[in-house]
Chain A
Amino acid sequence: MKQFYAKVISNQRIAPDHFILSFKTPHAMAKKVKPGQFFKIKVNNSSKPLLGRPFSVHKAGNNKIEILYKIVGEATRILSTKKSGNILDILGPLGNGFDTGLSGPAILVGGGHGVAPLVELAKKFANHNIKPVVFIGARTKKHIVCDKDLRKLGAQVHVVTEDGSKGRKGLVTELLKNKITGKNLKKPVTIYACGPKPMLMAVGKLAKDYKIPCRISLEEYMACGIGTCLGCAVKTRGGYKMVCKDGPVFDAKEIVW
């Protein structure tokens, strides 16, 4: 974990509200970053917004990191105006990340901007010659991101939209259920999920019902990002844990919803 100033390499719109921003990292950092880890980015040096915002690693490359973000408020709006060469104040890499001792097969589930960290995760699987099955849930066709990248990595990608404008109409959890109750499910399989809370809750419940190990990446409001403020608490069976330090990746069955 380091605090550093990073040069923006590029910042491109990939969907109506989604952007991919790539920034330079200090020497050797990007190589050590684990999928599921995140960076806290201060988008300007004013006190509005005051705090840096957390963003997952979307892709880690040679001395650069990419994040994929959605504009939802002030900080992400300001971030979307950054140009190549602009400087960002960054803290990271933070959090535990997905375990790297990966074994397949794997099912990846992403909802909304929650697909962002799944690409780096799929890359790690690809390195181990594991081709995961991926379910992406989005509001409409326009909101689907990362599907092409994931396919390139050899993943079998299924898309669901809430309005049916692409792929199946409905929720990712419905497809997930079909998959895990289907005959050709190779076991032991692990589910990795990231997305909005209701989705994670539903995925966690399915995993529990069908006794499948499940890792989920959670989001909470953060102040410090390093475990000192105790602000990003999530209730677990072992009491409150901090999303920034003990997580963001948790064993789904540990979480008390």
Chain B
Amino acid sequence: MVSLKTTIGKLELKNPVILASGTCGFGKEIKSLIDVNKLGAIVTKTITLNKKEGNPPPRIAETASGLLNSIGLDNDGLKDFLFEKISYLGKLKIPVIVSIAGNTTEEFTKLTKEISKIPCIKGIEINLSCPNVIHKGTKFPLLAQDKKATEAIIAKLRKVTKKTLIAKLSPSVTDIKEIAKAAESGGADAISLVNTYPGMLVDIYTMKPKLGAVTGGLSGPCIKPLALKCVWDAYNTVNIPIIGMGGIMTSGDAIEFILCGASAIQVGTANFVNPKAPLEILEGIKQYLKEKKVNSIKSLIGKLKNNEK
């Protein structure tokens, strides 16, 4: 028997395959397509304190091996989450991680405090990196581009929760190592890497942007090499676990991330392409461990070999 168990902060996951924020809603619709309870964990769509309407359509555009989105954190807010979504999430048998975002530090704090009261929530992913929202606490377009703001906000949230805190970072930075370090210094239990890459597409016939919001975030297979490098750089810098993602479609992709230092991986865009992808990835990882005669996934993390013979 191979062991697929992995550890993210205080969280023991039975396997490293996690559903990424914004790509599985709150777990409700996908249950008729896959057995969610077989996975390692689920991260909810990012919620904000107040209801957010989201961006004008079109919100989706496709590019070569990639998906550009500008959903704009469309969600019904904390209250709806506490009264509606939670009853459903509470029935899941796997750890539920709630993704949160705020316009201000106060909003982040309030969200963290409220969510920490819910027993069935095992972790909080702090979305510091959504390319579709603007935060007041930094002069940068994204919180996760500002190492001081990143450290300050994580430190603040660390004080108000005992739950596993995960900082979700943006790849769109000059030096990911600095930001990863800032999240670690702030007291994050883990970091999630990467959120989408800011991007845009143009319809040459109408001469208009393809997205209603003009710009959006790029995900899918086309970002994998970029995301892998971010994970590798962060792995060589911090001592906290890294949750890797960005274009993971197959178990091979997932293993690349694990070899580059990811303790767990998230599946995002692949859910839209093939809802069974997360389960197929899990099965593929198991097969790989057997073939390689490695008995625990933990002994694979960061085991990228160097090029010398």
Contacts and interface: CB of A to CB of B under 8 A. Distances in A.
Contacts of A227: 25, 29
A52 interface: yes
Chain A interface, DSSP helix/strand/loop, else mixed:
loop
Interface in A27-64: 42, 47-52
Contact of A233 (B59, B62, B274, B276): B59
Given A3-B275, A229-B60, A240-B53, A48 B65 contact: yes
A226 B61 CA distance: 17
Chain B interface, DSSP helix/strand/loop, else mixed:
loop
Interface in B100-153: none
A65 to B, nearest CB: 19
B204 to A, nearest CB: 13
Interface in A209-228: 220-228
Nearest to A91: B275
B65 A228 contact: no
Most B Cβ at <10 Å: residue of A2, A50, A51, A233 = A50
A252 interface: no
A234 interface: yes
Contacts of B33: 1-3, 91, 226
Contacts of A231: 59-60, 69, 71
A223 B60 contact: yes
A1 B29 CA distance: 10
Contacts of B62: 49-51, 221
A89 B274 contact: yes
B29 A228 contact: yes
Interface string B48-67: 00000110111111101111
B57 A235 contact: yes
A226 B60 contact: no
Given A50-B66, A228-B29, A222 B60 contact: yes
Most B Cβ at <10 Å: residue of A89, A224, A234 = A224
Contacts of A222: 60
A226 B272 CA distance: 9
A212 to B, nearest CB: 27
B275 A233 contact: no
A182 interface: no
A86 B273 CA distance: 19
B22 interface: yes
Nearest to B221: A47
B138 to A, nearest CB: 26
B272 A229 contact: yes
B273 A51 contact: yes
A228 B53 contact: no
Contacts of A16: none
B263 to A, nearest CB: 25
A221 B220 contact: no
A221 B74 contact: no
B161 interface: no
Interface of B: 22-25, 29-30, 32-33, 45, 53-54, 56-62, 64-67, 69, 71, 74, 220-221, 249, 269, 271-276
